[in-house]
Structure 1
Amino acid sequence: MKNIVLFIVLVFNGLLSFAQDDENPVLWSHKANKISDTEYELVFTGKIHEGWHVYSQHTAEGGAFPSEFKYEGSGIAYELLGKTKESKTITEYSDIFEVDETFFKEKVVFTQRIRLLNPDVRQVDVNLWYQVCKEVCIPAEENFSFSLDGGAIITEDKVIDEKSEALSASLRLNLKNKELLRDVEIGTSESESGIWTIFGLGFLGGLIALLTPCVFPMIPLTVSFFTKQSQKKSKGVVNALLYGFFIILIYFLLSVPFHLFDSIDSQILNTIATNIWLNLFLFLVFVFFAFSFFGYYELTLPSSWANAMDSASNKVGGGLGIFFMAVTLAIVSFSCTGPILGGLLGSTTLAEGDVATNLSAGMLGFGMALALPFALFALFPAWLHSLPKSGGWMTTVKVVLGFLELALAFKFLSNADLVGNWGIFKREIFLSIWIVLFLLLTLYLFGIFRFPHDGPRQKLSPIRIGTGVVSVGFSLYLILGLFNASSLKLLSGFPPPDFYSVKSIESDCPLGIDCFKDFEEGLSHAKRVNKPILLDFTGWACVNCRRMEEKVWSEPNIYSVLKEDYVLISLYVDDRKELPVSEQFNFKFDSGRVKSIKTIGQKWGTFQTINFNAASQPYYVLMTSDLEVLNSAVQYTDKDTYRNWLQQGLRNFEQTRGAIAKVPQL
């Protein structure tokens, strides 16, 4: 069981910590003490947030990872005098790893003496890799640079100079009626349906997993085991139901670590969806999953895990033994369920709402679908005779899933392209790749080509032919979308936006509406034309932003008002373009944390956080050019809610400005 827990924690922790880049539970400072003209003592001091701890360099093997220093140029520019020393540590036994762990709480101090080998050296660079833990563990990295100036080492901490103070002050708005922003208006129909959509996707994924060769053959075997091994039929039914319950519980527990991350980073959902390297990593992972479904290799967890769980179920017996049987099922079926769960994880990062809640709903749906046949066939064992026989059709199911995994993989590659502004995977190229994928799927379903693990060629079944027809129909639908962007409303928000095109377009704003991508420029224009402002916090890789633009903004009676009656300011919080050097600065939060503002996205993300106490996108605010808030903020919502919200904003603007023009009826 320990290995299962470790596997779950390491997979999810690694994924999320890779995306995290703004908050850190340890605040580091460093200085150098001059010992002589050639010797120095480097001091690294970490202030650890309450409840967290950092591991020692010498913590026991088999537990958490130790802290590691890398001294750039050591042995060439300078030499290390002894090992890196550390302050007082704490040693406690870990129930998870079953070893004595050594770590620091509240404060950690590392010291290292060096001797210069080259008197011309003017800089010493040190890299620290460490792990900081609370309920969860986060791998972290710090780079320290020391400049040698006249024989003294000067630290290069983030400085709040006059330039940074001035640019920081320009980010803060003196908003009027700010209390209106406390209530964020969200269309109930959309918000309530979001979690049910994820649950439905999870349930569908579980049903599909049942049809794979890793799971399907186990249904009659497991049900027969419970019904035949029990002295009473009722006892067998209870055991089978308990087995199904444990399956649901196991998959639900996989989502639990995600609920622990909100206290670490309030922008974690946006970070996951917009981090370039994480999206590239997910692209490779999904391609890897896809080719496993195509039969080129098989994904398996260590067989020792399954053997250990199976052995435990035989030794323990009773309810606990049944639990270990359920864990065994999860392990041995991983080669089929793993990629499906990966797809479910990918869907939650692209969906509206809290990632942890979404994932819990999806995992709950997946587990329920997977457990359902074990319960039903235990209650009605005669139904077992109606089950279709295992065969080549299950291989076909895996191949279809492989093509779906590939399609989703290119969504993550598109995200990286959008955020990085590479200009490679424009809308037409993305759609063309999908068209090719689904045409290849069609050819496979009609038996034109085969994969390595396909069995003997057989007559095409009606279901396979029907699926092929659906696939070719979807391909034609995508081809139509190449020439008419508005026809792809079923995929709204998934492909790149229509203005991200290989065609020559007049505007790079949504739907061709005139917009500003700098707040000050938009504010100045609003003052000149005496119009209210629609402040749109958005992102290149924000799926719900695209859905709002394509489903809500495109409505004629909403589009005309956005185009004619508002000044649209769209601020992209995930834009990775670097600001001009003259506009880069260090921003100091009220907590004392200092953040370097080097990219456009960092600027507008910080702007949203400090003025509107929000970190999600889309996020819409109506205001005047005098910074008076006109209505509550709105996020992802339905067209009726959005239309009424715009109308109320215009009415409030009319009252504020004493405008003569009548508010248009939407």
Structure 2
Amino acid sequence: MRNLLTFLVLFVTSLGFSQVQDPVKWKSSIEKISDTEYQIKLDAVIEEPWHMYSQFTPEGGPLPLDFIYNNAQGNYEPQGNANESEYTKKFNDIFEVDEYYFAKEAHFTHNIKITNPEVKNIQLELSYQACIDMCIQQNKFFVFDLATVTSKEVLNFEDLSTVTPTSNDTTKTKPLADNPATDKSEKKGLMTIFILSFLGGFAALFTPCVFPMIPMTVSFFTKQSKSRAKGIKNALIYGFSIIFIYVVLGFAVAKIFGADALNELSTSVSFNIIFFVLLVVFAASFLGAFEIMLPNSWANKVDRQADRGGMIGIFFMALALAIVSFSCTGPIVGGLLVEAASMGGIAPLVGMFGFSLALALPFMLFAMFPGWLNSMPRSGGWMNTVKVSLGFLELAFAFKFLSNADLVLQKHWLEREVFLAIWIAIFAAWAIYLFGKIQLPHDSKVEKISVGRLFMALLVSTFTIYLIPGLWGAPLKLISGFPPPMTYSESPYGVGNSKGGVGSLNEIPDGAKEGPHGIVAFTDYDKGMAYAKEVNKPVLLDFTGHACVNCRKMEENVWSETNVLKILNDEVVLISLYVDEKKPLPEAEQYVSKTTGKKIKTIGNKWSDFQIEKYQANAQPYYIVLDNEGNSLNTPVGYTPEVTEYESWLQEGITNYSK
């Protein structure tokens, strides 16, 4: 059902039958708690498949819900933040923070303490962002009459500014139901955790602590059992015991910290720094600086229990494996738990299940097919090479957490170029190691390298070379989401690298700025149109927003493509109008909107009102190709992530301009 609704929304948008969107309907009430205290209640019904952001959405991400009390000073005091119903958290790889949002419905309560007994009403303005594949910045107004303890939504309150029309909707809210979009994204995230964890368990198999245990353990079960069937049964019990032990570990992590606390980790500065230090320690252990081991007494006690035989004895054998191999598996398990913890929920359980399944499968399969043991490679120095390689990977991933902390603090200590330089150094060192030019403490002397190691060295070298152009602004889409965004760099979006567009860094016309990928972008409509007429080029009108996720996705993934970038640089004049720009208009330029009846006070209000009045749309991103008189040359489009589709749409507008 949700997919059908999404398709209809995009289909209507693509056909140009645009209309002013109002996807969130509100019902409001007020309750008197005491002579000096009231409680405001707000219920929101959100059309599918739209979602609305929480007031606690982290800074640097999408715009949060904001409670603005316009007549509070000297009259009343809002008591802290409004309480809100449970929201969904999902990491946003564009803004590098979690986004907190509601789907289907949301509920809020806010206590107000009266300080002036003469105050007659409470004037509340809600400012919020609603999104699907496009975003809408909305404002709603409410006046709560304290004399009658009733509430009404303001329809024409000109002293307060807005950019969207309001409604008097009092639709009853429905019980909170599962959100298919949330379910789908959570399943996708858990599947990613499972796959990564399974690969981590598979890598752990080839470490010196685990690999030699496979033939020893399988031989023990086959020789000690009276029949082959009994040996297989014991091996299966052993494998399931391994899975049980690690899943219990994941359950303990989720239970001790709680789902909410784990979700907070990805945006917490202190936890990200702790994770960075933890992964550096794990990496140092894998590289041979020291070994992380559990107390020997634990292993001795477990070994004694394993001698009891039967199912209990087999279980303790599996526990002994977990303890003895901890110096190799511990850093991998720790890294996986860190990653799973940042996702929260049942992710630690899923992660440990994936890891333990990969670890247990060989023991069970070789017990069923003991002839396979003959095809296993012999133990040797190659196992330490695997361990060291995992150390390089852990060290690289550690800097992702340090980068998260820096992004939240906005200190610019670990900008994109510095991050990439660190990664280039780490992967270059790894490649040199694989070529046998570096030896670490536990390595055997390398006289020649195997073909497999050579191929791995070439692969790592290729990746290292791939990273280098990123220092000068290459997008590096293969690792999108790991380094800081291109805007968080010494030269955001490659300023100064304009490729023959309407101007260069030294020739930016009045009213324009250097935009994404060095494209010159006008931020004033009239100045942009005047320049387009002067140079006789069509206009790409871009309704966008500073906090618009899909606007950034279009800029980073579509505008960066060679053919599209060439068009934007050479064949059109780009006018980008930011509807969430908070800079106030000069008082003489403020006005009352003809379409909404609201007072337009900011530059963002002006461009949003222009979009509504001119194009009957209020979602971003929104693109129109215009001639020099402001006439549309083809059907406007919204979020269009398919590069060829967007390029064809641009070319259609340019061709129509030429005609």
TM-score by length of 1: 0.53
Cα deviation code 1:141-166 (max 9, x no counterpart): xxxxxxxxxxxxxxxxx997979x99
Deviations 1:279-305 (A, max 9, x none): 111111111111111111100111222
Q: How does 1:86-105 map to 2 (within 5 A)?
A: none
| 1:498 partnered with 2:486 | yes
Residues 512 and 278 (structure 1), Cα distance of their counterparts in 2 relative to 1, 3 Å cut: farther
One-letter code of the match for 2:434?
L
1:333 to 325, 342, 358: 325
Are positions 1:429 and 2:433 aligned together? no
1:203 maps to a residue whose letter is F
1:321 paired residue among 290, 297, 313: 313
Q: 1:360 aligns with which of 321, 335, 349?
A: 349
Alignment partners' CA distance in 2, 1:262 and 1:490: 33
Give per-residue Cα distances to partners, 1:163-197, cap 9 Å, x unaligned: 9x999977786395898999968499876543322
Q: How does 1:22-421 map to 2 (within 5 A)?
A: 174=140, 186=181, 192-257=187-252, 259-260=254-255, 265=260, 268-269=262-263, 271-315=264-308, 317-348=309-340, 354-421=343-410
| Distance of 1:512 and 1:161 partners within structure 2 | 53
CA deviations over 1:356-389 (Å, ceiling 9, x no partner): 3333332222111101110111011111122111
The letter of the residue matching 1:294 is: L
Q: CA deviation at 1:533?
A: 7.5
CA distance, structure 1, for counterparts of residue 463 and residue 218 of structure 2: 38
Q: Deviations over 1:459-486 (max 9, x none)?
A: 2111111111111111100002222432
Alpha-carbon shift at residue 402 of structure 1 (Å): 0.8
The amino acid across from 2:235 in the alignment is A
Quote the offset at 1:400 in angstroms: 0.7
CA separation of 1:661 and 1:565: change in aligned 2, threshold 3 A? farther
Asked if structure 1 preserves the Cα contact closer than 8 Å seen for 2:543 and 2:620, the reply is: no
Unaligned runs of at least 5 residues, structure 2: 1-110, 129-138, 141-163, 496-512, 522-540, 583-606, 625-630, 638-645, 647-659
One-letter code aligned to 1:497? P
Task: Measure, in 2, the Cα distance between the counterparts of 1:359 and 1:531.
Answer: 42
In the alignment, which residue of structure 2 is the partner of 1:446?
Answer: 435
- Amino acid aligned to 2:266: A
Percentage of identical aligned residues? 45
Partner of 1:8: none
Contact 1:446/1:468 (8 A) holds in 2: yes
Q: Specify the code of the residue in structure 1 equivalent to 2:323.
A: I
Q: Which amino acid aligns with 1:324?
A: F
Structure 1 gap segments, 5+ residues each: 1-157, 516-529, 539-543, 572-622, 631-644, 652-658
How many residue pairs get matched?
413
Using the TM superposition, give the Cα deviation of residue 355 of structure 1 relative to its aligned residue in structure 2, in angstroms.
Answer: 2.5
Structure 1 CA distance for aligned equivalents of residues 580 and 632 of structure 2: 25
For residue 664 of structure 1, the aligned residue among 621, 625, 636 is 636
* 2:558–2:564 Cα contact (<8 Å) kept: no
Residue in 2 that maps onto 1:520: none
Residue 302 of structure 1 aligns to which amino acid in structure 2?
A: P
Q: 1:545 to 1:331 in 2, by over 3 A?
A: farther
What are the superposed Cα offsets for residues 480-531 of structure 1, whole Å, 9 maximum, x if unpaired?
A: 2222432x1110111001011112676899778999xxxxxxxxxxxxxx99
Matched residue, 1:578: none
| CA distance in structure 1 between the partners assigned to 2:368 and 2:581 by the alignment | 57
SS of the aligned residue for 1:356 comes to coil
Call closer, same or farther: CA 1:296–1:183 in 2, change over 3 Å. Answer: closer
CA distance in 2, matches of 1:326, 1:443: 37
Paired amino acid for 2:480: S
Q: Which amino acid aligns with 1:307?
A: N
Counterpart in the other structure of 2:452: 463
- The CA deviation at 1:446 is 1.4
Shift of 1:342: 2.2
Give 3-state SS (helix, strand or coil) of 1:448's partner. Answer: coil
Give the direction of change, closer, same or farther, for the CA distance of 1:162–1:334 in structure 2 (3 Å limit): farther
Please list the CA deviations of residues 324-360 of structure 1 after superposition, one character each: whole Å capped at 9, or x if unmatched: 221211111111111112222343356xxx5233333
Going from structure 1 to structure 2, the CA distance change for 1:537 and 1:330 (only over 3 Å counts) comes to farther
Contact 2:259 2:344 in 1 (8 A): no
Q: Residues 661, 472 of structure 1: CA spacing in aligned structure 2 closer, same or farther, 3 A cutoff?
A: closer
- Over 3 Å counting, the alpha-carbon distance change for 1:296 and 1:189 in structure 2 is same
**Contact 2:238 / 2:315 at 8 angstroms: preserved in 1?**
yes
Matches within 5 A, 1:636-655: none
Query: What per-residue deviation string (whole Å, max 9, x for no partner) do you get for residues 39-93 of structure 1?
Result: xxxxxxxxxxxxxxxxxxxxxxxxxxxxxxxxxxxxxxxxxxxxxxxxxxxxxxx
Q: Give the aligned partner of residue 480 of structure 1.
A: 469
CA gap of 1:301–1:625, structure 2 versus 1, over 3 A, is: farther
Residue deviations 1:3-61 (CA, integer Å, cap 9, x gap):
xxxxxxxxxxxxxxxxxxxxxxxxxxxxxxxxxxxxxxxxxxxxxxxxxxxxxxxxxxx
Contact kept? 1:256, 1:356, Cα under 8 Å: no
